[in-house]
Amino acid sequence: MVGKFGNYVKSVEYFDIILRKGRDKIEKPWLPIPYTDFDSAYNKEIALTHIANFIAKNKPSVIFTLDDIMGGYGHPDHVFISKLIVAYCMQHQNDSAFSVERIYQAVFDPKMNERILNDMDAFKLAKKIYKVETTPKPDVYFSLKGREVIKKQALLTYTTEQNSLTKIWPYYNYYPATIYFKIFDKEYYRVLKKDENYRKIK
């Protein structure tokens, strides 16, 4: 499936919350931890409150997250928040006013994962801890044709994540967007559907 997207973002809301307990004392907070440690490692109720309030206020039909298995490359914050959103949607899917029909989880082409991420400590450790071979396979992709500049601008906004982003998209910040993203020209997503209880049916 090929999708189209354009200038649909009306506003951006930032939430300044302390997600990981004692994060400033953790030497490498980006390394994965077992799923069973999430409840003790994170301020779950604070995050849930923000998720609930956001959905109630904006009533989205689609939510975009990273995948809830490896969180992209293994970062536990990504896995935790993605799992929390899936769990919240599952819990409230039968509420009469619940709006979320799809969760689009950003993933990579598995071949791209192994070529680009395989030397990252977090990615290698995540495969062991989460007992998976790689990130989940995508169900759909969106073409970036005509949106290359927007893609680069979006990546550049993540000022604290450039080390990770330039591993995934090497040298994207040095090349003109219209050249670079004609090569890396797709966004891949795993899709969780309300009518399938936000689970993947194998």
pLDDT of residue 9: 56
> pTM above the 0.95 mark?
no
- 1-5, 22-26, 91-95, 185-189 — which is least confidently predicted? 1-5
Q: What is the pLDDT of residues 40-66, one digit of tens each?
A: 999 999 999 999 999 999 999 999 999
Q: What is the pLDDT of residues 116-128, one digit of tens each?
A: 788 889 999 999 9
**In three state form, how does the secondary structure of 153-186 look?**
HHHHCCCCCHHHHHHHCCCCCCCCHHHHCCCCCE
pLDDT band at 82 (very low <50, low <70, confident <90, very high): very high
Q: Is pLDDT at 2 greater than 50 in this prediction?
A: no
Distance CA 146, CA 34 (A): 40
Q: Taking the domains of the chain in order of start, what are their residue ranges?
A: 31-143+186-195
CA angle 83, 85, 88 (to 5 degrees): 110
Q: Alpha helix locations (H) across the chain?
A: 38-41, 44-58, 71-74, 76-92, 110-112, 121-129, 148-156, 162-168, 177-180
